[in-house]
Amino acid sequence: MPKPVSTRRFSRKVPVLLGVLAASALFSVAGRAGPPNVRGKIAGHEKLIPEIYAETAKPEAKRWTWREPSPSVPTQYRTLSANPSRDICIAATTGANQEKQEFRMTVTGGRVFPTTIVVTPNTHLVFKNFDPFPHRIYAVGQPAFKPENLAANGTRDWAAPGPGKYEIRDELFPSVRTYIVVDPQVVAVTYPGRDGAFGFSLPGGEYVLKAFFNGKQVGKPVNFNAKDKGVVDLKQALDVSTGAETDAK
């Protein structure tokens, strides 16, 4: 069975409860179970706008009716911006190739959770439809994963053939979109809470921290050392507002 999204570290042998993607949800490719031993925070995420929002806002799209904002609503809540807990993927990478795994992707409410994920080559992603109606998801430019009905409560699985960036869409619902970044050296990923805080539970060693949004790397990579004992607090917040227009490496 694939690993479902959870609010705690995945274990290879212990099943976890499937839920809506939440703050600090971890997809574990390798590592250890337990509380986070590496903690950090992102900054600038309020400046990131998901591509689907930007496309919908265009007049020619005719997919949204924009209303005058209410003066009673604070300015910071009038702009559609990224939801860190589903849109910003924080990946811990190392110098060695990692094993493949299986993960469950949740399709519900006209969205897919998460909207960006970093995995190892040949990792199987199982798309589970929790809506009471069908979807027709497909991988852009990948004939092997062409549009087919994904029935209510049904599943479809797909594995990226190799390193790179891949895009999953839905013929029926344009808002269903997710990006899969394939990196052979990713150890684990996590998703920050709305306050930008995130955590990892990692074996001791040297790692490089990378952030991804809309399938692209954002911010500058951060080198850090995890400890077998004790907690490492990354002193400087990772600014994810920079580099959003460049392709992920």
Q: What is the pLDDT of residue 156?
A: 97
* Res. 47 pLDDT band, cuts 50 70 90: confident
C-alpha atoms less than 13 angstroms from C-alpha of 61 in its C-beta half-sphere: 14
What beta strand segments (E) does the chain contain? 26-28, 38-43, 88-93, 102-108, 111-113, 116-119, 124-129, 137-139, 155-159, 164-170, 177-182, 186-190, 197-200, 205-213, 216-226, 232-233, 238-239
- Do the Cβ atoms of 106 and 21 come closer than 8 Å? yes
* Res. 50 pLDDT band, cuts 50 70 90: confident
- Do the Cβ atoms of 154 and 129 come closer than 8 Å? yes
Residue with tokens 């852009």: 140
Using a pLDDT cut of 90, give the percent of the chain over it: 60
Distances (CA, A) of 150 to 35, 147, 170: 36, 9, 10
For residue 92, count other CB atoms closer than 10 A to its CB.
25
pLDDT over 70 (residue 3): no
Give CA 192 to chain center in angstroms.
10
Q: What is the pLDDT of residue 6?
A: 37
Residues 23-42: pLDDT tens digits? 333 444 445 567 899 999 99
Residues 109-139: pLDDT tens digits? 888 999 999 999 999 999 999 999 999 999 9
pLDDT over 80 (residue 179): yes
* Res. 74 pLDDT band, cuts 50 70 90: confident
Length of the chain: 249
For residue 90 the two structure tokens come to 């924080």
Distances (CA, A) of 9 to 38, 44, 82, 120, 191: 13, 26, 23, 17, 12
* Res. 81 pLDDT band, cuts 50 70 90: confident
Q: How far apart are the first and last CA of the chain?
A: 30
pLDDT over 90 (residue 92): yes
Provide the edge-to-edge strand list for the sheet that holds 177-182. Answer: 116-119, 177-182, 164-170, 137-139
Residue 200, C-beta contacts closer than 8 angstroms, at least 6 positions apart = 26, 31, 36, 37, 38, 39, 92, 188, 190, 226
Averaged pLDDT, 196-203: 95
* Res. 79 pLDDT band, cuts 50 70 90: low
Among the ranges given (16-20, 117-121, 195-199), the one the predictor scored with the smallest mean pLDDT? 16-20
Q: What is the pLDDT of residue 161?
A: 85
pLDDT over 50 (residue 19): no
Q: What is the pLDDT of residue 188?
A: 94
Among the ranges given (3-17, 112-126, 235-249), the one the predictor scored with the smallest mean pLDDT? 3-17
- Do the Cβ atoms of 83 and 112 come closer than 8 Å? no
Which residues sit opposite 111 in a β-bridge?
108
Average pLDDT value over all residues in the chain: 82
Residue with tokens 């690993």: 3
Q: What is the pLDDT of residue 66?
A: 53
Distances (CA, A) of 21 to 99, 115, 197, 207, 233: 23, 10, 15, 25, 24
